[in-house]
Amino acid sequence: MRSKDFKSWCYGWQPLAPDDVSITEILRGHGFVSGLIADIPFYCQPAANFHRAFHSYEFIRGKEYDPIRIPEHAQRKTHTENYRGKGFDEDYFAPQVFRSAMKWLEENSWRERFYLHLELWDPHEFWYPPKIYSDIYNPGFDWENKEELIGLINPPGKLTNMSPSFPNLGYPEATGYTPRQIEQIRALYAGMVTQTDFWMGVFLDYARNLGVLDDTIVIFFSDHGTFLGERGVLRKPQYALYDELIRLPLTIRLPDQMFAGKRVEGFIYDHDLTVTLLELLGIEKPDYMEGTDAMPLVTGEKEGLHDYIICGYNDFVCVRDKRWHYIQADRRRVGYSPALDRLYDVNSDPDMEVNIIDENRLVVKRMEERIVKLWAEYGLEYKYPLDN
C-alpha cells in the first residue's frame, strides 16, 4: 500500500490495507455507532485510511510535523509555528480532543451501543504544555533563547555519536544537556501529562453527568514509554528496549465498578486488548484474529496469558519472561556489534544495570529459539544475526 500521499518512514505506519479488518468494522456489524477523534499526525495524511468504518471522524490538526503552517526555516520549527495563537488551556491539542469527545458523547450517549475511539499524541514529544503546568514541577525556568526552547521541547532525533557504547543509534544522549536543562525537560513532560490527565478527568466527569459512565467500558493504554535522562538517554532510541520504553500503562474500567482497584500480574500484548474488549461485549472472536482474552487474569481463572513476550523496534528485538530480559541487535542489515546484545536477571537486578550475557549462553539460546518460533508461526525463516 505504498502511496505518494503517505510516507511510511517508521515500521508499522503503513496505511490500512483493503483486507485489514479493524475492531470498528466488527462492532459496526453488531449495531455499534462509532466515532474517531484524534490528533495523531499520521492519521491526517490523505492515504492513511485509519478512519475507515467509523460513522464519524475528526482530526485535530497541528501535532508534531503536521504542516498546517509553513515553518520559518526548518521542519523542526513546524511545531512551534503550529502553537501560535494558543493563549488558553483549551486551545491546546489534548483539550481539543477531549472537548470534541464531550460534544460527540452528548450527541450519541442516548444510543444503546456506541464506540468512541480517542487517540491523543500527548504526552509524546514535542513537550510544550502551557507554562502553568510545567511551572508546577520547575517554577521560574526561563528560556535563554528560541533555539534552547526548541532543543528542550523536542530534543533532536538525529543520529548521534555522543555515547561511546551505542554510536549512531538514533536520538540524543542526555549527556548533551546540562542538569538545568534535563530538569526542565522532565518538567515539560510532567506538565503535559498533568494537562492530559486533567482534561481526561473533565471528560470522564462529563460522561458521568450524562449518566453513561456506569454502564460503559473505558480502556486507557499507551503505545510506548519515553526516557527523560535515565540511562543517559532521552526519548526512545531503538536499542533501549527496557521497562521505561516497553512497559505500558493499562487501565480497564468496567460497568458498575466491577473489580475496582484490582491490580493484576501477567504479560499482555497490545493485540490482546481487542480480543478482551470483544469478549466483554459478548462478541465472538473471529478466527483470523490474534490475541488472548485478558479477563481471566482479572477474575483469577488464570495466573498468566503468556510465558514470555517479544517486542521489536526497528533493528532490535527484546524477549522477556518472569526472570530474564534479553535484547538482541540485528547485525545482518546494519552491522551492529555483538556487544549490543544484553541479558539481565530481572529478579536480582530489576533495574537492569548489569549485563550478564557472557555467563548465560544457554539462556540466550533459549531466548533466540523463542524468536525463531515466532517467525516460524508466520511462515518466515529467521536468520541469526551475524557476529562481527
- 287-329: per-residue pLDDT in tens? 988 899 999 999 999 999 999 999 988 889 999 999 999 999 8
Task: Answer with the one of 267, 286, 306 that is the final residue of a domain.
Answer: 306
Q: Is residue 3 in a domain?
A: no
- Beta carbons of 225 and 246 less than 8 angstroms apart: yes
Nearest to 55 by CA among 19, 74, 31, 79: 31
Residue 29 binned pLDDT confidence (cut-offs 50, 70, 90): very high
For 329, the domain range is 309-377
Q: Do 354 and 297 share a domain, yes or no?
A: no
The domain boundary, picked from 248, 280, 306, lies at 306
CA 55 to chain centre: 25
Query: For position 9, what pLDDT does the model report?
Result: 46
Q: What is the pLDDT of residue 175?
A: 77
For residue 388, being part of any structural domain is answered with no
Q: Does any domain span residue 9?
A: no
Residue 333 clears pLDDT 80, i.e. is over it: no
Number of structural domains (the chain) is: 2
pLDDT higher than threshold 90 for residue 383? no
Q: What is the CATH number of the domain that holds 353?
A: 3.30.1120.10
277, 157: one domain: yes
Same domain, 237 and 121: yes
- What's the average model confidence in pLDDT over 195-212? 96
Q: Are residues 76 and 119 in the same domain?
A: yes
Q: Is the pLDDT of residue 11 over 80?
A: no
Tell me the three state secondary structure of residue 221. strand
Element (H, E) at 324: strand 324-329
Q: How far is CA 68 from CA 21, 145, 360, in A?
A: 30, 24, 52
Give the amino acid at 367. M
pLDDT greater than 70 at residue 21: yes
Final residue in a domain of this structure, among 306, 336, 354 = 306
pLDDT at 37: 98
For residue 101, the domain's CATH number is 3.40.720.10
* d(C-alpha 286, C-alpha 27), whole Å: 12
Residue 127 shares a structural domain with residue 167: yes
Cell 549527556 -> residue: 175
Q: Say yes or no: 357 and 215 in one domain.
A: no
| 162, 266: one domain | yes
Name which of 95, 73, 71, 96 is nearest 84 in CA terms: 71
